[in-house]
Structure 1
Amino acid sequence: MVQKLKYSPLFFGMSEEEISNCLQCSLSSVSSYEKDELVFYQKDAPTHLLVLIEGTVVICNDTALGKRSIVATFDQSGELFGEVFVFLKRREFDHYAQAVTPARVLRIPKEFLFHTCGENCTHHSRLISNMLTILAQKAYFLNQKVQILSCATLRQKIAKVLLQNSQADGRVTLSMNREKLADFLNTARPSLSRELMNMQEDGLIRIQKRDLWIVDFEALQNIL
């Protein structure tokens, strides 16, 4: 388990021994879930920081008509989910988490994240520091998303994403595939693909299989 957790951003910069010490010091536990079993219910109190060890978990809401809406999917070892609610003053989740495959989840008592122990362990301080970094990165990501979704047209949204993720040579490095990018931009994948092809025909970008380059930075910026 520790070998899987060492790649988690929560345990960044920590040795396997330090991770083990953290888990022992925090009185963390591991829970196993069967396919379709709920990890937590809507209105449950967020008492633990949850870290996926293996399997796939989705965060969901149900509509008034009973239709499930998937808010997020977690399928990588070391990913955190539901962590924001641990630090809010609200006392309950406003969604639920469900295992879509057999899954194992690490549960770290939230009290461990609010102060260091009497031993003043360096691994404990590192864990708290990593948690602050994770929350800061999430806040930055959401701020970037707000800027993108505030754009009036799909082309403007795409231009914003490409410019934010471009390198000096024009190459664009995205952390998501086309399907996830379409979800991020709140559009259908065919609409995204069609607009990308239109932008290539207009000489703004160049697409080569899965790679993408900005051809005309100035024209792309003028779209905004």
Structure 2
Amino acid sequence: MEKYLPILRNSPFFKGLSDNEILSILHCVNATVISKERASYIFRAGDSTEVMGLVVSGCVLVMQEDLWGHRNILSKCHAGDFFGEPYAASLGAVLNISVAADEDCEIIFLNVQRLLVTCQTACEHHQKLIRNLVSVLANKILILNDKITHVGKRTTRDKLLSYLSAESIRHSSLSFDIPFDRQQLADYLCIDRAAMSTEISKLQKEGFIKTNRNHFELIACNETDLQADK
């Protein structure tokens, strides 16, 4: 596990913990490492789990799928990100999500039930980890709230602009990369890819955005532009 410490140190789940405390926690929660090839499933809807996953290389998609293969992407997790923690923390809960490798990846599984039972020595780093888990869960709620805001818009254009505006704020820049390719972005926003591509082209022609693959630049409207429109 020592080779993963550079990633674990930067994960919000292990915030404030020393290397020795991290290694101690990994032992406490029965940490195991698995490898998955691109497009293979890690969790499937209908399963139950006692473990949550921590991505240490590659990335995974958290999504909902129907019987006809339609995807609703909830999030994309990169190295240092977690998935499955709400289900692992709720004993017996059935997953209504699937998690699949978006590229070859390595995952550390952590037994959350071991974490939720305070160890006999009531060690300080165990308490820190529980606080960090609450913070991670709260952040996931905020991420899902953002998605609800975007997909709740009425038109494809409004959904795109809502998402891109939020990403710009998150990056504190008008120029940024998004984590999705075009199909994944359409699946995340619950819109048709062709309609989305048409709207992106319109937004570029109208001077709202510039884009190249997953890189976007938003063009802010200034007072001169507003006066010219009058």
Fold match, TM over 0.5?
A: yes
Contact (CA 8 Å) 2:74, 2:188: kept in 1 or not?
no
Partner of 1:195: 199
Partner of 1:137: 139
How large is the Cα RMSD of the aligned pairs?
A: 3.8
Partner of 1:213: 218
Distance in 2 of aligned mates of 1:76 and 1:139? 18
In the alignment, structure 1 segments of 5+ residues that lack a partner are 220-224
1:169-188 equivalent positions in 2, closer than 5 A = 171-173=174-176, 175-179=178-182, 180-188=184-192
Distance in 2 of aligned mates of 1:182 and 1:76? 19
Partner of 2:228: none
Q: State the aligned residue count.
A: 217
Counterpart amino acid of residue 199 in structure 2: E
Counterpart amino acid of residue 161 in structure 1: Y
Partner of 2:17: 14
Relative to the length of structure 2, the TM-score reads: 0.70
Partner of 1:47: 50
Larger mean Cα displacement after TM superposition, 140-149 or 32-41: 32-41
Contact (CA 8 Å) 2:71, 2:187: kept in 1 or not?
no
1:27-176 equivalent positions in 2, closer than 5 A = 27-32=30-35, 39-40=42-43, 42-54=45-57, 63-64=66-67, 71=73, 76-88=78-90, 90-97=92-99, 104-166=106-168, 171-173=174-176, 175-176=178-179
Percent identity, aligned pairs only, is 25
Distance in 1 of aligned mates of 2:35 and 2:156? 42
Distance in 2 of aligned mates of 1:174 and 1:161? 12
Counterpart amino acid of residue 137 in structure 1: N
Distance in 2 of aligned mates of 1:98 and 1:182? 17
Distance in 2 of aligned mates of 1:49 and 1:152? 35
**1:101–1:22 CA distance, 2 compared to 1 (3 A):** same
In the alignment, structure 2 segments of 5+ residues that lack a partner are 226-230
* Local SS of the residue matching 2:108: strand
Counterpart amino acid of residue 126 in structure 1: K
Distance in 2 of aligned mates of 1:163 and 1:37? 32
Relative to the length of structure 1, the TM-score reads: 0.72
**1:13–1:191 CA distance, 2 compared to 1 (3 A):** farther
**1:56–1:202 CA distance, 2 compared to 1 (3 A):** closer
Distance in 2 of aligned mates of 1:188 and 1:151? 14
* Local SS of the residue matching 2:48: coil
Distance in 2 of aligned mates of 1:119 and 1:24? 15
Contact (CA 8 Å) 1:26, 1:109: kept in 2 or not?
yes
**1:97–1:182 CA distance, 2 compared to 1 (3 A):** closer
How much does 1:153 deviate? 0.8
